[in-house]
């Protein structure tokens, strides 16, 4: 029996474990040609529409971004886009649900720059980061096609069958709108949504297909645990928690924030970033401490710490570690994605799709999720925390 600590405002889908048996490498339609099923507008809900089998900007300038409802890490993608005269749009990759996808992940620029020289903002550029090798966009009033292959930190892009990025590394290049504000590609989200941008021009999109190459594709039906505020959560002890630009941020500490709900078997995924010498943890099947002056919850903790030689990111703190000579693969001030799966006594963790813990633990069978901010000066950020309960 699941125990509800209080009524929660966020619903969670229940699926069978078999839903995770997804075949990778199979081409799938991201757009069905009939409606916007599977897509979410970050702007006005009536800004986007479907006409003649194409996604169109019905009310240009009001739509923000139109993104998928699922995240993707590694994939091959094709999309056709119609370039109007003077048109400006973009293809967002690995963006988060909060903030600008062009900078939470990155953007492949769509811009009417036919005949111009390649640049950081011209068509085909990784916007504000890497110029394309050549200008391959067709004249305005024509259709174009992007083919994108993204695996790990390596990007290949073809525009109209012309290679414009060849084994391009997502490295230290990248700025946020000006040279004075560096934002390296290597620090941005490692998984995220696919999106197209409404920049105020009448773009059209069609034939959007994807081949998911991720080692652990995201299942359908995951539910977000972070909204625009702290609804569905409660805080204890020291530290401060707030939602900023879609991120749940904890500072100073020690303190914790708990879901109001309690869970037993689940799949949990999140984007995580911690500051220099930062320390945090994603607790599960946990309850608050009952000991006066002792803030640490009772339960399992999936560690977030790049510097602890024993309990580093991906370990279940003081309970389970990777086999062999595993070492941290994350770093401070850079986003990574965390995956935790608990089904009965079987506990697993992954970082950026890389398996870490695969063990049997029988101490706790259910409890809250909790996030930790560990000490004064600590800053921890979580985005797109999403959960899927596992049914029988």
Residue 104 above 60 pLDDT?
yes
- Tell me, yes or no, if the two domains 23-212 and 223-390 fold the same way: yes
- Secondary-structure class of domain 223-390 per CATH: mainly beta
Report if pTM > 0.85: yes
pLDDT tens digits, residue range 73-86? 999 999 999 999 99
pLDDT tens digits, residue range 108-151? 999 999 999 999 999 999 999 999 999 999 999 999 999 999 99
87-126 exposure pattern, b = at least 16 Cβ within 10 A, e = fewer: bbbbbbbbbbbbbbbbbbbbbbbbbbbbeeebebebbbbb
Which CATH number among 1.20.1250.20, 2.60.120.560, 3.10.330.20, 2.60.40.1120 corresponds to the domain 23-212? Answer: 2.60.120.560
Residue 11 above 50 pLDDT?
no
**Angstrom distance (rounded) from CA 380 to CA 362:** 29
pLDDT tens digits, residue range 253-299? 999 999 999 999 999 999 999 999 899 999 999 999 988 888 999 99
Q: What mean pLDDT value characterizes the chain?
A: 92
Residue 10 above 60 pLDDT?
no
Domain residue spans of the chain: 23-212, 223-390
Instruction: Specify the pLDDT at position 391.
Output: 81
């Amino acid at each position: 029996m699941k125990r509800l600590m209080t009524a929660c405002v966020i619903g969670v889908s229940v699926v069978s474990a078999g839903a995770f048996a997804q075949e990778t490498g199979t081409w799938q339609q991201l757009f069905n040609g009939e409606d916007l099923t599977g897509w979410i507008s970050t702007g006005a809900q009536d800004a986007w529409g479907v006409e003649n089998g194409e996604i169109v900007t019905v009310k240009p300038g009001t739509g923000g971004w139109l993104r998928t409802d699922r995240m993707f890490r590694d994939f091959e993608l094709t999309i056709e886009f119609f370039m109007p005269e003077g048109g400006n749009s973009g293809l967002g990759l690995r963006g988060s649900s909060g903030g600008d996808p062009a900078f939470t992940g990155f953007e492949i620029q769509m811009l009417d720059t036919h005949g111009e020289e390649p640049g950081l903002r011209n068509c085909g550029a990784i916007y504000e980061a890497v110029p394309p090798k050549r200008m391959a966009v067709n004249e305005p009033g024509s259709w174009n096609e992007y083919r994108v292959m993204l695996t790990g930190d390596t990007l290949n892009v073809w525009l109209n069958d012309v290679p414009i990025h060849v084994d391009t590394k997502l490295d230290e290049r990248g700025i946020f709108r000006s040279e004075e504000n560096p934002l390296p590609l290597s620090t941005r989200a490692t998984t995220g949504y696919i999106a197209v941008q409404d920049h105020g021009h009448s773009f059209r999109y069609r034939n959007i297909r994807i081949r998911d190459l991720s080692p652990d594709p995201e299942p359908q039906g995951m539910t977000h645990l972070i909204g625009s505020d702290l609804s569905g959560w409660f805080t204890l002890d020291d530290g401060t928690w707030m939602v900023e630009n879609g991120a749940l941020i904890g500072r100073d500490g020690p303190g914790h924030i708990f879901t109001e709900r309690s869970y037993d078997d689940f799949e949990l995924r999140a984007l995580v970033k911690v500051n220099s010498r930062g320390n945090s943890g994603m607790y599960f099947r946990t309850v608050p401490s009952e000991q006066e002056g002792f803030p640490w919850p009772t339960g399992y903790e999936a560690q977030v710490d790049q510097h602890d030689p024993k309990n580093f990111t991906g370990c279940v703190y003081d309970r389970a570690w990777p086999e062999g000579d595993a070492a941290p693969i994350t770093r401070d001030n850079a986003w990574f994605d965390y995956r935790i799966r608990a089904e009965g006594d079987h506990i697993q963790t992954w970082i950026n799709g890389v398996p870490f813990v695969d063990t049997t633990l029988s101490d706790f069978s259910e409890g809250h999720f909790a996030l930790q901010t560990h000490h004064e000066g600590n800053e921890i950020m979580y985005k797109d925390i999403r959960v899927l309960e596992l049914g029988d």
